[in-house]
Amino acid sequence: MIRQIVDDVYQIGISVPGKEGHEAVRVYVILNDGHPILIDCGSHLYRPQFMQEMEEVLDGATPEYIFLTHSELPHAGNIKSVAEKWPGIKVIVSNVLLAYIEILPVLPLSQITAVIPGTQLEVNGRMLEFVDALLKDQPGSQWIYDSKTGTLFTGDGFGYFQDESLIDQFSDEIDGGIREDQFQAYHYHAFRFLRWVIPERLGADLDTMFSRRPVNVIAPIHGSAIRHDITTHKNRLKSALANVRSQYA
């Protein structure tokens, strides 16, 4: 479902039913005054839906960039259709790109750029920053920060399972927002290494990351945008991560 989060930032995507609830798979679209940017490009499994929603939001505009949080198929698998529809699109990837993903065969290498965390890229006067993902399921996973709206796109981080009826709702439209146990269930499955993590250190790094830039919106790929009580939700995630470790123990 297409939903405007804030300003010119839109959330699209589908919901996949699972044992613990529905899991969203998102693409975020930043219209950027005629120079659109896609954050991830969707799963190959739901190509028609992703393409239809992207085209509807873009309303005839040609996207200039895809920024990939990482190269797993739910995030990058739809790139073939995107490349066929918009062959001039440039792709920004993290420093690890797995060869079996569809990127190499479908676009010239000259249109693919690998960046390292800390890189800032200006697109039509808008500054986007690549941030080292604090929760990685691939070594090169990156989060992306849009300075104009204060939106932090967090890839698999901050994901959560949701009831089907609420899957497209933003946090402020849900009584009590996103619960700690929703974050916990998702991160338990998505980040198996959390059993070996010292939660206090990870939590402190999350605090530092959020203190360095104003975050108004958290935009996970496997959830809907969190756009209120940011500190509360960050603290819920911190507790959830500590609980995951206890779960394994």
Binding residues for Fe ion, rule: CB under 5 A, are 72, 74, 137, 156
Q: Pull the structure tokens for residue 20.
A: 């613990």
Pairwise CA distance, residues 231 & 122, whole Å: 28
Among 106, 101, 49, 50, which Cα is nearest to 80's?
A: 106
State how far Cα 152 lies from the chain centre. 8
Q: Which is nearer to Fe ion, 5 or 135 (CB)?
A: 135
Pairwise CA distance, residues 131 & 139, whole Å: 13
Minimum Å gap between C-beta 18 and Fe ion is 13
Minimum Å gap between C-beta 135 and Fe ion is 9
Minimum Å gap between C-beta 122 and Fe ion is 27
Q: Which is nearer to Fe ion, 36 or 140 (CB)?
A: 140
Q: Which is nearer to Fe ion, 94 or 171 (CB)?
A: 94
Q: Which amino acid is at 42?
A: G
Minimum Å gap between C-beta 196 and Fe ion is 18
Q: Lay out the sheet containing 120-123: strands in order across.
A: 120-123, 126-132, 142-146, 151-153, 217-219
Q: Pull the structure tokens for residue 27.
A: 């693409």
Q: Which is nearer to Fe ion, 136 or 234 (CB)?
A: 136
Q: Which is nearer to Fe ion, 123 or 237 (CB)?
A: 237
Minimum Å gap between C-beta 74 and Fe ion is 5
Q: Pull the structure tokens for residue 129.
A: 């920053």
